[in-house]
Structure 1
């Protein structure tokens, strides 16, 4: 199995969200920390603790957070790809990720693969990140939502299978990879761009239940 490290741990506090007209708050402005973070299952998306990282803020609790989006990871290798595309430096945490990884190929990560992070924490990939207006405002790049979605370099949302502490520089080991072979990039591309292949997503047991329900409804023929 492949391995990597946590290059940067990033945590965001509550800040005004200029992308929202209703004076909402956001935690997308995550900054690297030099101390361990505690991760624990946050519970349901709208009524639980929201982020899986203790001390991390999530403003849009309708679309972000909860057990199936408890932690967000983005690879420094994908940052390098974007840096070349945008001709600008992209520091860890800019995309709002909790874990900036190094050495893991997140583009080809399999949906439902499990990572051991450090000594105790076990995380499981659940889906890619769907970009939003807050992300668009933060990046200040033309047509950023479409460009990010078209790239399929979405990073990985993760659920917490085993709680604990993560230290900066902690090793990451892929300890399980499902045999279905459906990658995060392929799953995201199907969901966003090729709906005729949606049934392919249902092979992944790790698919979030609400997303599975949505897909099953989309696949159900409409009565004439």
Structure 2
């Protein structure tokens, strides 16, 4: 359902801005936040809360297991009212554990609220940087690649993630910058070998050079004929 709503939103935005040929782009907020020290600190704190609550649940489960084992060992000597009391105690313990687990890790539980609380300052900082980049680059629309909006294809030419990182002071200096214009060098063509048997890459014999090396003239001796 989220994907359908996202595609409809993309379609509406395309229709709204397409006629005016407005500029658009996209960013990856998950990638951006993963590079932020504030986000790493928030995740560490969130994991601490999660580990603490999980240990409390494990301790309660151990108490429940102990109740089970005691009941199984003493069941034969217990009267019916005592059995009923023990069973009710075990059932209540099971319900308490489920309630506590849902409270901490269930839908909109404590872990969900803590995640929102700890991530909100980081998200606000990212959104402020995104807004600044959009204004600087005069973008009409800036999508979030990591959001609910499904992007089936993304052209790197419209990726403004690195610009947002630069706005946050986390960008690489060699990204999104024009390459340096170096000096133009003239490369001399290779000389053709004099060997007529030399073959080029095409397999054909390379024509021999027309310039021949000068050799010293040989002395010619004239043989006198005998009369």
* TM-score bucket (shorter structure): under 0.3
Structure with the higher fraction of residues in strand conformation: 1
TM-score, with structure 1 as normaliser? 0.19
Structure with the higher fraction of residues in helix conformation: 2
- Indicate the structure whose relative CO is greater, using CA pairs within 8 Å and at least 6 residues apart: 2
TM-score, with structure 2 as normaliser? 0.19
